[in-house]
Structure 1
Amino acid sequence: MERRKFTREFKLEAVKLIKERGVSFAQASRDLDVHQTVLRNWVRDFGSDPASAFPGHGQMKPEQLELARLRKEVAKLKAERDILKKGRGLLCEGLPVRFAFIAKHRDIWPVSWICGALGVSRSGFHAWLTRAPSARARSDEEIGARVRASHVTRFRTYGARPVWHDLLAEGYRCGLHRIERLMRAQGLRARPRRRGLPKDTGERSVIADNVLDRQFTAGGPNQKWVADFTYIWTAEGWLYVAAVIDLFSRRVVGWSMQAEMTAQLVTDALIMAIWRRGKPDALLHHSDQGSQYTSEQFQRLMADNDVACSMSRSGNCWDNAAMESFFSSLKTERTARKVYRARDEAKADVFDYIECFYNPIRRHSTIGYRSPIDFEREAGVA
């Protein structure tokens, strides 16, 4: 069979089809009826020296031959430099990692050049390419998937050791170092500890007993409200978020967000709740013993609206568990994995969570997996 011949113009157009128009080698091979290997050689020759590529069948002068040889050598040296630069650290890795790098970049550089730069043989690479995955590789793939599932379902807070115990509990037999390797390969890292929270240096005074006594249910609206505030970090500093929840429907009826941890923060949240729900009758308001809630400003507001006061015991977060649960949901479902550049950005996100998701949409197990607004609507609350 006579070997087919192609003009320089044909070769240049074929190269442009692949490099400039983004046609794959496989598609170009079918369209032009030219083997993929031939097309790869043309692209390689054009990439090494576009000006002198495809010179034709004429004899070259000795100086032209030497110049062509030097150009090819320079192109190879540049490619080896780029290969080692892109594959920094691969020489310290095992053969499978180096072979994977070659398979990924063989459309950019000739396989022989990459193999030479990484110190592996072409025959070894081609054997690896066609060889079925080993039992160890298949096991790594299976365990790696379980490692990722454990890490993600734990909200990316787990490091290697807790993930390892998760897998041991599922019946997998593997070592801690293997888990570390598989997490490192997938870029999985435990979420770093949160920065230290700001301290409330205000004085505490016991001005009310724990009247609520962990009775976190109410027979109707505006009978029991719980309140507290939390902290959200932004690039501008802390944002303080205060909220008031009606225990009847678990609806957030009042909230306030400010840059300062003052009595005005919690006062504004209660004012919003009263404004939204109307002046309450026989309402119990429960909070902790923070200086903001024991302040004269806040206590005067409650007295003016005939609101009874209840407070948790000192250092006992379970006495206000319903409020702690809401803030936990807010951070887990919205703010924990975000980085806010400004307080206004965080305010907008918290507002969206409360008013556009938590109150109207989010299903709550305590009220039969209905949203707070739907629960109130079904109960006939205006």
Structure 2
Amino acid sequence: MSKKIFSEKEIKLLSANKYVKSVSSKGITYTDEMKHVFIAERKKGKFARDIFEECGFDVEVLGIKRIKSASDRWQKAFNENGISRLRDTRAENSGRPRERELSLEEKNARLEAQINLLKAENEPLKKDSFCRKGDEEITLPPSQKFILIRSVIEKYQLENMVSYLCEVAGVSRSGYYNYFSEKSQKQRELKDEKDEVVKELILKAFHFKGRKKGARQIKMTLAGQFGVVYNLKRIRRMMKATQEHRVVPNLLNREFKQDVPGKVLLTDITYLFYGKGQKAYLSTIKDGSTNEILAYHVSDRITMDLATDTLLKLKKNRNFKKAKDSLIHSDQGTHYTHPDFQKLVKKLGLRQSMSRRGNCWDNAPQESFFGHFKDETYIKPCTTLEELKREIKQYMIYYNHYRYQWNLKKMTPVQYRDHLLNAA
């Protein structure tokens, strides 16, 4: 068997061929039709390489060794038992080998991968929606699922579980590879560039002569003053994105540890399951240099107040001293792109920074805190929201004042904060 490893681009290319049943980085399974065509053309005296090329395969991608191996195998099977021997008789005719019994390590790895994906998938749902009791569940679009799968694979080093994670997320593997193909990424970049041009023109029309305008007025102003024609649907979509929510650049660039208390603030929201299927949400603001939790807010609803109330609690924290050029960093969830949140950030004299879309590493310390928090708290036994809040309050006191951390010179967050202030 050929040792050639297929790249993601090559897998996508091969998957598009009608004679391919399945393909992975290490192997390819052909359809029965391909085998029949091969035998028929070989009888006419054609070379194996030529047959594969006529069937739409790139010989350089497949490799001569893989072509020779397949042709020898098919020819031998045909010579021994005729055309019926070429039929794929494996389980359910899926084109894949009969599944072997997984080892305990493999089972644990699959389970961990599934948990991590479902956890990651749940995070954007809480950030991108304002759910009330009785609201329908929100389903992520395939593009967001592809991004989540990629982030889970990179974070937990699960490169060999693409197929399994796609199955768990309910998306196709070919769609996953296609989404991250060079062609698709260029198309998305081109669309984003065009949207920026459109957004700029629409804003110019919106502010023309200093008077606010509705979509119809903008459409007529664009045509009359700028010679540009956009349909109302597009104008409304762009205005909604422009007026209601705004994504800001990543000013932090993962420079979390700047040894200055109050300079780098990290914020995020996580979900908490407690009692008998009850759900709550925790919003926190963490000091990137000291790891101290400066403010937090707990709620059983995921409204805008969850983020803004956390900011207000930060303002009331008498131990928080804002440093020069301090900023608050978050992901691109709707809580943080919302104008109410952004206005309050400016009112507090903070700059705002956001992670790149779909990149969990840009706010890694905050994600790390949530991981420790869920491992060390007793959330599940809580039966009421008030009980949950008491447990969280006790843990925050413990974490800030009594939980020693190796990377803080074996100090607690509060001790390390005082250490940095005294050394300044």
Could you state the TM-score of these two structures normalised by the residue count of structure 1? 0.47
Question: What TM-score, normalized by structure 2, do the two folds share?
Answer: 0.42
Which of these two proteins has the greater Rg computed from alpha carbons?
Answer: 1
